[in-house]
Structure 1
């Protein structure tokens, strides 16, 4: 009886400590599970990408992050089949020669975020990017694509790159970001090169007491769950097709191991869609007091704050604030607090596996029974029924339609 050949030994050269890289790796895993292909995968134990000595690795193939210049250099003379994954380029000459390349569509990522901000009724726009660096070519491509969008629409091009993130320079970087935000016209929509940059921007708005999204509507790129957890105001984000990139890369390498020639293959993967959250839901308001109050509610509304605390933050009496809310929003401050809790609970019911009791606590309801009572009164549904009816409703595809 013939023995089965040993599994191919495949190296994955990614920094799996990053959400983007993890999702690409997840796509590779999905391909293996769906096709029953057996690969012996090499991945650093601490999930970092180390290429030193890779030329001495006795394997059969490599899938690698070609946004990393060190990886590109290390694999430039590799005799093994290599599939590259990275950012797309407007200039096709920038893709590596004789290596198949799977890329995220930077132009469409930017276009989707920009169109969403336009749909919010905004007419002023800016961009928060990254400073030039050897590993930031993808960021430069996004910035150039955004600038071209504004140029095409005959709008002013406002771009801020800031400083690299470091512990020592954090305070200075935050001060510069606050200064830039204070100089911008309001209201304005700002697209950020990543979710990490978007989180920094929201924090700077909080420091500067700039209301998000009434004065500054924010959109990130990556839809990174960790960043979402670390951002007080839920972050709107464009979702890259990272898992599809991983599946496609694995498929190409599988074919190459069986003799196929993909040396000239270039595949550009579009974004999956946009996850719309509070950070970009712009609603024009005339009263600066209501803007400040809603900004405070978005940060602390699920922590059990009362109307008096909101009024104290704004710096007016409860009666005065209530009058502004009735005139501007046709509701009381208490109703705005309750609406915020309901919206946050709805988002968690749709996207989170948390038990209902935990969701009630996280959203500031005094008990699960009270959350049930509020849902029945406001939606004529129990939380369970709401979850079943709306799961997936907040995700829109790249055309803007419901998924």
Structure 2
């Protein structure tokens, strides 16, 4: 067990992303390591105050170039945390690094929007500079998956906007509103962060655009403060940030003991989507499909089958299946399964219910059948998935 190691965290807890990483670190420390943890009282990193700090280990946000330069000069055992990159040369050299999977975040959003029938997909990012390389990676992945998963049929758009501060806010929002007004309706937008998503919601109001009917909006971070500000209307992708913090702390613990860290780069996948009003819209003009999907959302976890949907609509199977294929590139059965598995994943993430209980609540006749369907879709069992999305996976 580590003895009296002096460790500091280089993060800024004014961001939900950083706060959750710190929470993951704290969970690891509570497991029994003996660290003296230094954090500024206001939880804001000030590198100038650390110039004379002599410790044993650092966990640092390496998306910030100034922090990268600082830890390289400091020469103290460091574990980096930050965004993932397609080019491995973008990662720090010879330093353990815990990365959020930008590529899978973007892919998750694209799959979600395509399943809702959207043909127009957009990304609202950040000004391109060394501080925002992670946002550019997310943007590029979003554009890539939009083309690949739609077989080149999706129309794609992006806007990076301005850095926001008190003096630029009004003008920046006006520019954003102009861009939003130029997009075809309906368009689905993934924003680089929840904060950027909140800006889109404000700009939609300014441009008199309806959310989600004209513009669907999704953020990234599951930031509880932004959720409160938006009245819990914002859909968001949950990054595995607590897992990242926990894994970073476990890695630092090993490194300070002199153990070899292999691999140096560890990727942490997003945990899923919190769906809310900002994306609660089916971008399909076919009323039969809309009616069918609404029925499926309401009753899928009651164990319905395609015949129940057809009886509700009063139409032939061939008619409805052709409409589903045309507008959703899917089938009635697939849509029922999508809703069921979405609920299964939610219960695995947020509850300790048994697989038998979850199968009952999601409309599967047996836990065994649910496990088979789940594994076929996600290439892992429900139990493996639960371990992957909880911090305890690293204990």
Q: Same fold (TM over 0.5)?
A: yes
Q: 1:173 to 1:40 in 2, by over 3 A?
A: same
Shift of 1:269: 0.4
Please state if 1:51 is matched with 2:47: yes
CA contact (8 A) 1:7 1:38 kept: yes
Shift of 1:284: 5.0
Greater mean alpha carbon deviation, residues 25-34 or residues 225-234: 225-234
Larger radius of gyration: 1
CA contact (8 A) 2:118 2:283 kept: no
CA contact (8 A) 1:120 1:281 kept: no
CA contact (8 A) 2:2 2:253 kept: no
Q: 1:285 to 1:254 in 2, by over 3 A?
A: closer
Output one character per residue of 1:186-234: Cα deviation in whole Å (capped at 9) or x when no partner: 1111111110111111111112221111111111100111001111461
1:282 is aligned to 281
* Distance (Å, rounded) in 2 between the aligned partners of 1:72 and 1:197: 25
CA contact (8 A) 1:99 1:263 kept: no
1:16 is aligned to 13
The list of structure 1 runs, each at least 4 consecutive aligned residues, that deviate by more than 4 angstroms after superposition, is none
Please state if 1:110 is matched with 2:106: yes
- Secondary structure at the residue paired with 2:107? helix
Q: 1:22 to 1:53 in 2, by over 3 A?
A: same
Shift of 1:133: 2.4
Q: 1:57 to 1:119 in 2, by over 3 A?
A: same
Q: 1:233 to 1:32 in 2, by over 3 A?
A: closer
Shift of 1:276: 0.6
Shift of 1:39: 0.7
CA contact (8 A) 2:20 2:242 kept: yes
Shift of 1:259: 1.4
Output one character per residue of 1:288-343: Cα deviation in whole Å (capped at 9) or x when no partner: xxxxxxxxxxxxxxxxxxxxxxxxxxxxxxxxxxxxxxxxxxxxxxxxxxxxxxxx
Please state if 1:168 is matched with 2:167: yes
Shift of 1:120: 1.4
- Secondary structure at the residue paired with 1:138? helix
CA contact (8 A) 2:25 2:248 kept: yes
Q: 1:215 to 1:247 in 2, by over 3 A?
A: same
- Secondary structure at the residue paired with 2:184? coil
1:273 is aligned to 272
Q: 2:139 aligns with which of 130, 139, 143?
A: 143
Please state if 1:178 is matched with 2:177: yes
TM-score (norm 1): 0.68
Shift of 1:261: 2.1
Q: 1:38 aligns with which of 34, 37, 40?
A: 34
Q: 1:284 to 1:94 in 2, by over 3 A?
A: closer
Shift of 1:63: 0.7
Unaligned runs of 5+ in 1: 287-350, 352-388, 391-397
Greater mean alpha carbon deviation, residues 168-177 or residues 52-61: 52-61
* Distance (Å, rounded) in 2 between the aligned partners of 1:210 and 1:5: 56
Q: 1:211 to 1:195 in 2, by over 3 A?
A: same
CA contact (8 A) 1:214 1:285 kept: no
2:195 is aligned to 196
* Distance (Å, rounded) in 2 between the aligned partners of 1:38 and 1:189: 48
Task: State how many pairs are aligned.
Answer: 295
Shift of 1:55: 4.5
- Say what the alpha-carbon RMSD is for the aligned residues: 2.8
* Distance (Å, rounded) in 1 between the aligned partners of 2:21 and 2:284: 41
TM-score (norm 2): 0.70
Shift of 1:48: 0.9
- Secondary structure at the residue paired with 1:76? helix
* Distance (Å, rounded) in 2 between the aligned partners of 1:226 and 1:206: 20
- Secondary structure at the residue paired with 2:180? helix
Q: 1:75 aligns with which of 71, 74, 78?
A: 71
1:354 is aligned to none
Q: 1:143 to 1:85 in 2, by over 3 A?
A: same
* Distance (Å, rounded) in 2 between the aligned partners of 1:38 and 1:219: 40
* Distance (Å, rounded) in 2 between the aligned partners of 1:6 and 1:278: 49
* Distance (Å, rounded) in 1 between the aligned partners of 2:173 and 2:162: 9
Unaligned runs of 5+ in 2: 286-349, 351-360, 363-376, 387-395
CA contact (8 A) 1:98 1:263 kept: no
Shift of 1:268: 0.6
